[in-house]
Amino acid sequence: MSTGVEHRSKPDARLASVPLVANRPERSFTSREVIRMVEAGILAPDEPVELLEGRLVIVSPQGPPHASLVAMLADRLRAAYCAGYAVREEKPLDLVDSLPEPDVAVVRGSQADYAARHPHASDVVLAIEASLTSQSLDREKTLIYARAVSLDKPRIPRL
């Protein structure tokens, strides 16, 4: 009995060079649009994604070593920066086409200053990405930070 479907034991060689998504247009998002998606419930507040240059990128969960390192860095920065600065752990920065969440950021002002908005590039004093397993993504994010604050090169110290 024929089902009308042709079965092949191996893929057709002619199709090997055809991309799965052939040059389809992509839809980029702005930080404002992504914030509205969270407010509307389209994205959950704890969704493991970050907006990076208009793309929603899935980020990996943190392991205990990473979480501990981030907490220790934040503690040291809180001791080093006093009034007039806020230390934020894994909170978004609004960089127009990106909403990255650096592991730790030092921003001008107090936490209360950001109750109605995320810090912008001009508010950022320091952004830190602690890379234990996600070096490629974190390098990309450091370049986004550098472009947002018009630096020629980001400083990426090795710890």
Q: What is the DSSP letter of 3?
A: -
Give the confidence band of 77 by pLDDT, cuts at 50, 70, 90: very high
Strands (E), 35-103: 49-52, 55-58, 85-89
Q: Identify whether the C-beta of residue 72 lies closer than 8 Å to the C-beta of residue 64.
A: no
Say if residue 105 is exposed, middle or buried (CB neighbours under 10 Å; 0-12, 13-18, 19+): buried
| Lowest-pLDDT range of 11-20, 62-71, 88-97 | 11-20
Question: Does the reported pTM lie above 0.95?
Answer: no
Give the tens place of pLDDT for each residue, 41-55: 999 988 999 999 999
